[in-house]
Amino acid sequence: MVMTMPMETDARVADHATVMPHVGLGTVRVEVDSQNCIGCGSCTAFALQTFIINGDLIAELTGELDDVDSLLSAADACPVYAITVINADGSRLYPKD
C-alpha cells in the first residue's frame, strides 16, 4: 500500500509521502511503497536527509528534504522501484511512465 498526501506549497511529511517545493519544478511529491520496499538502504546513500530505514527494515521519509537530483538518484537506486517522484502537474519524474 502506498501512503500519500495532497500536494501543497510547503514542505510537509505524512506517513510515507513528502511534498516539497522546488524552484523550476514546482511542487514535487515523493512516495515510498512500504509493501514493496526490501529495506536495502540504497535510498539513504543518495538522499540521507530524506530517507531512513526504520526498525522494520523499511524505508521511511524523515520530513527533511534533499534536493530533487538526490531524490531522483535515490529513486533510481531502489532495486524494487518502491520510490516514486511526482511533479506538481501529476507527471512522474521517476519512474517514467
The 10s digit of each residue's pLDDT in 48-82 is 998 999 999 999 988 877 888 999 999 999 999 99
- In single-letter form, the type of residue at position 74 comes to A
Taking only the tens place, the pLDDT of each residue in 30-50 is 889 999 999 999 999 999 998
Which domains are present in the chain?
Answer: 12-94 (3.30.70.20)
State the pTM of this model: 0.74
DSSP 8-state assignment for residue 77:
H
CB atoms inside a 10 Å sphere around CB 66: 19
Say which residues have a Cβ less than 8 Å from residue 26's Cβ, sequence separation at least 6.
87, 88, 89
Q: What integer is the mean pLDDT of 7-24?
A: 46
Residue 56: half-sphere exposure toward Cβ, Cα within 13 Å = 7
**Is residue 5 a contact partner of residue 14, using CB atoms and an 8 Å limit?**
yes
